[in-house]
Amino acid sequence: MENIFIVRQFESGWDVEEIAEDMYLQEEYCIEALQIPDEKIYGTEMIGKHLLEVVLTDIQEEELSEGWYVNLTRISA
């Protein structure tokens, strides 16, 4: 099952315009700033210049209460 999130809020210290232009930096942002496990990231894509679409895969029910997932849900609501 895939889960799709739209990140609207970015951590300070990250250059959103630079993230928008670099797919690898988008994934690095997800791993470093959002603490999403690398193996859960199926893909990322910028929508415009200020929204980051994050597609996760293979999410298990017990992961729904983990901090990184709860935070991702909060910032993409």
What confidence score (pLDDT) does residue 39 get? 96
- Is the pLDDT at 1 greater than 70? The verdict is no
What confidence score (pLDDT) does residue 72 get? 94
The string of DSSP letters for 3-41 reads EEEEE----TTS-HHHHHH-HHHHHHHHHHTS---GGGE
Q: Is the four-CA dihedral 7, 13, 17, 18 of positive or negative sign?
A: negative
- Is the pLDDT at 48 greater than 90? The verdict is no
Distance of CA 8 to the CA centre of its chain: 10
Q: Which DSSP state fits 42?
A: E
Specify the pTM. 0.90
